[in-house]
């Protein structure tokens, strides 16, 4: 493990159960918790306005015969761990719930988890 490694999710567990997903598709959104936008002023310095953003985990689920959509819909209050086995970090999302699941039938399926508390970096 190098301190120069970039964080790349290669393992996700939801309450201890691994989820199979397409390599390189897992993304964590809302890590900073907010965005800052410039509001132009008529005269003088411009201003900033901050807005909270939703925290989510998005991935392309490998939809095979072991995947039961009803089980995914029941995810509520789950502890999710995202690991980079070759890097120095892990990310804990302590309180997650089902967000959405895209269309099924073309292979992988877009899957989103809502993250209801701040990410913890380990």
pLDDT value, residue 5: 81
| CATH 2.40.30 given to domain 11-121 | yes
State pTM to two decimals: 0.89
What is the DSSP-derived secondary structure letter of residue 103? -
pLDDT at residue number 4: 75
Mean pLDDT along residues 22-36? 96
Q: Are 63 and 104 in contact (CB under 8 A)?
A: yes
pLDDT for residue 1 is more than 70: no
Exposed, middle or buried, 12 (CB in 10 Å: 0-12/13-18/19+)? buried
- In tens, the pLDDT along 33-56 reads 999 999 999 999 999 999 999 999
pLDDT tier, 3 (very low <50, low <70, confident <90, very high otherwise): confident
Residue where the block lists tokens 């509001």 = 39
The backbone torsions φ and ψ at residue 120, rounded to the nearest 5 degrees and listed phi first, read: -120, 125
Residue 2 is predicted with a pLDDT of 65
What is the Cα–Cα distance from 11 to 111, expressed in whole angstroms? 15
Q: What is the DSSP string of 1-69?
A: --TTPPP---EEEETTEE--B-TT--EEE-SSSEEEEEE--SSSS-EEEEEE--EEEEEEE---TT--H
Counting residues of the chain whose pLDDT is more than 70, the rounded percentage is 98
Read off the pLDDT of residues 61-120 as tens digits, 9 standing for 90 and up.
999 999 999 999 999 999 999 999 888 889 999 999 999 999 998 889 999 999 999 999
The CB density around residue 121, as the number of other CB atoms within 10 Å, is 10
At 37 the pLDDT is 96
């Amino acid at each position: 493990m190098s301190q120069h490694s970039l964080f790349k999710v290669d393992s996700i567990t939801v309450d201890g159960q691994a989820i199979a997903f397409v390599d390189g598709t897992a993304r964590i959104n809302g890590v900073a918790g907010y965005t800052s936008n410039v509001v132009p002023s008529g005269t003088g310095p411009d201003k900033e306005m901050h807005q909270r953003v939703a925290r989510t985990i998005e991935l392309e689920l490998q939809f095979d015969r072991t995947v039961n959509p009803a089980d995914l819909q029941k995810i509520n209050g789950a502890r999710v761990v995202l690991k980079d086995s070759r890097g120095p970090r892990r990310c804990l999302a302590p309180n997650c719930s089902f967000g959405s699941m895209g269309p099924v039938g073309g292979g992988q399926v877009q899957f989103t988890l809502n993250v209801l508390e701040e990410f913890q970096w380990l």
